[in-house]
Amino acid sequence: MNSSQRNYLVAGSTGLIGNLLTEQLVKSNNKVIALTRHELSSNNDLLFFQKIDFENEESFKDKFIGISDAFICLGSTIKKAGSQENFRKIDVDYCFSLAKAASMAKVPNLSIVTSIGADSGSNNFYLKCKGEIEDKISELDFKSLSIYRPGLLIGAREEKRLGESVGQLLQPWLIDPLLRGSANKYRSVKGIDLANSLMEYSGKQQGKKFYYFEDLIRS
């Protein structure tokens, strides 16, 4: 590895954003450790899949050693998780365990994808969980903490989500044009634009910084 390369880590590397981000990071000629729940392999000598157990911090805490930029793109839906309890375990508990391991390993730059409207005081369970993880991670020690709050994500997923599929077809054409001024942060975001923003902004802003639609658009 040459002196200009950086060591990246992506958690949630098989989801829409994590997969796109991993691809973009590898294209940038940097080493990438991609954490997964299953055994995966790569023919690229810059990409290293690492199977971990999200329930067991011992299985992944050493993966963060020597990492300059860590990205948490882990997330689920209540339907896929099976219950609110399991959803919270993934979107709050697992994400916090990963962030804590990153902090303990002295990773300087951490980025996480949450959602527009994230608020730990919300009556909406999904947004409440997204706000809770933001609050918990904000208490950890990072030189740079980047929190991304996108609206509906546009892109192909391995798993089919009917509601999102319909939304992806309708929102960019029918709803987004109506979201102007301060409401533009609720517009849909292309997955590739978010992935590129994650890579571009990591470590640029010291302290905590929130990123919204206007920070993510590329065209």
CATH of the domain at 63: 3.40.50.720
- Rounded to whole angstroms, how far apart are CA atoms 63 and 138? 21
- Supply the range of the domain harboring residue 149: 7-212
Average pLDDT over residues 199-219: 90
The confidence score (pLDDT) of residue 92 equals 97
3 has pLDDT over 80: no
Has residue 217 been placed in a domain? Answer: no
Average pLDDT over residues 19-42: 93
Has residue 1 been placed in a domain? Answer: no
164 has pLDDT over 70: no
181 has pLDDT over 90: no
- Rounded to whole angstroms, how far apart are CA atoms 216 and 186? 12
Has residue 2 been placed in a domain? Answer: no
Q: Name residue, tokens 């902004």.
A: 201
Question: Total structural domains in the chain?
Answer: 1
Q: Regarding predicted confidence, which is higher, 203 or 6?
A: 203
> How confident is residue 175, by pLDDT bands cut at 50, 70 and 90?
low
Has residue 155 been placed in a domain? Answer: yes
Has residue 218 been placed in a domain? Answer: no
Q: Name residue, tokens 């996480």.
A: 112
Has residue 164 been placed in a domain? Answer: yes
Has residue 219 been placed in a domain? Answer: no
Angle CA 51–53–59, to nearest 5: 80
Has residue 126 been placed in a domain? Answer: yes
Average pLDDT over residues 108-126: 97
Phi, psi (deg, nearest 5) at residue 144: -135, 120
The confidence score (pLDDT) of residue 79 equals 84
